[in-house]
Chain A
Amino acid sequence: MTALAFFVVTLIGSVGAGVLGALLGLGGGIIVIPLLTLGLGINIHYAIGASIVSVIATSSGAAATYVRDRITNLRVGMFLEMGTTVGAISGAYLANVIPTRALYIIFGVVLAYSGVIMFRKRKTEVPVDVPDSQMATKLRMHSSYYDQAIDKHVAYKVAGVFPALGLMYIAGVVSGLLGIGSGALKVPAMDIAMHLPIKVSSATSNFMIGVTAAASAGIYFERGDIQAIIAAPVAIGVLVGAMLGTRLLVRLRGSVIRQIFVLVLVFICIEMIGRGLGIALP
């Protein structure tokens, strides 16, 4: 395959990754890494480097719209970023130490767990019975947003502040280690632990994953893991895809998003565990 052909194939695949990423608050890295390693035989370190770039691209490309639409809960996002960024630096360093295979398995297992829980809640549009949280009140995290799909202003309360922070550290480590946005860990953490409405979780996650990725990107870049010819089509493609994806998100109902999310999770889970066990999957 010529360099140009590689560029074009990567570009097109990245657009798909971008659409899916913006839609689900995932950042596309989850699709880009298998595309590069399994599909195109690229060294995994370069794939991770390119993926980190795509994560930032998705977050910056999509976040501006969400923030303008006021769905993102900025306070929750910033507070949790304290955990993810520290985790991301830890993860980037650990990348040289931990056998990558073991991580794929751990990640796959965590994903499966999140998928099961989200599957059980899939009919719920807006969370009910949210427990009172003094911490969340003190930190002024409760908020509201306008849901275009159901044409209502939705007020919501926030809970589980410190458990979520702990989960975010782990999400950060995984992000720094695997070069993914860990939206798959962040969205369920906000959805389940903090009881945020799914759209707020997605939008806030989209905002957060870029910041988290930036924390490890510097380390990868200086290490030489971000190669221009690989990262360039990924960055362009994912950006374009993310802009398309955001148009769709505000129109879809929350439960549809959750169902798509679960399907994607299952696919990723099977692929990840397969990789960890050394099985090559199509």
Chain B
Amino acid sequence: MGNALSQSKNVDAHEGGDTKLARVAQLETIVSLVLRFGVILSLGVIAIGAILLFLVDPTHAVVPMSGSPTPQNPADILAAVGQLQPTAVIDVGLMLLIATPVIRVAVSVIAFLMEEDFVYTLVTLFVLGVLLLSFFLGRVGG
């Protein structure tokens, strides 16, 4: 990331240049931590759900071998989590895991914006837009 940063601006003695680069470097470190944290968090939630499943409430511990999938939506899942339904807890962890790359892209938008790299701000916004679109498209069908 450091290389990408230093090559993006010509070394013209910009007054605020150094502080800006330092801030973006900080942001990238934050992104690294956010990714790590997001992954560990989702892993933790999934693990808790798995423990609940096998130790507390094995009624749902059935491996679906065949049959057609039934559609599920986040609202139902959150309701089921309230009742500590194990598979729903796992589902929340999975949803968190799916969200991590999306958050990573969102933070990149900000990073490029701070770097005043407008071409890549747009590039990253496009990607973010496609990602968010895919979540809405899922509801409709397919």
Closest to A72 in B: B1
Q: Of A55-63, A109-117, A245-253, A261-269, which stretch is located at the interface?
A: A55-63
Q: Known: A43-B65, A56-B100, A211-B127. Contact between A228 and B94, CB under 8 A?
A: yes
Residues of B within 8 A of A236 (CB): 43, 46-47, 50
Residues of A within 8 A of B65 (CB): 41-43
Q: How far is the CB of B116 from chain A (nearest CB, A)?
A: 13
A64 to B40, CA, bound (A): 12
Q: Known: A46-B64, A79-B123. Contact between A143 and B3, CB under 8 A?
A: yes
Query: How many of B's residues come within 8 Å of A, CB to CB?
Result: 68
Closest to A239 in B: B43
Closest to A88 in B: B134
Closest to A209 in B: B101
Q: Of A189-197, A218-226, A270-278, which stretch is located at the interface?
A: A218-226
Q: How far is the CB of A260 from chain B (nearest CB, A)?
A: 25
Residue among B8, B87, B101 making CB contact with A60, cutoff 8 Å: B101
Residues of B within 8 A of A214 (CB): 98-102, 131, 134
B71/A224 in contact, CB under 8 A: yes
A85 at the interface (CB under 8 A from B): yes
Residue among A6, A43, A56 making CB contact with B101, cutoff 8 Å: A56
What are 9 A-B contacts defined by CB distance under 8 Å?
Answer: A3-B62, A78-B127, A85-B127, A214-B101, A218-B131, A223-B71, A224-B72, A226-B94, A228-B88
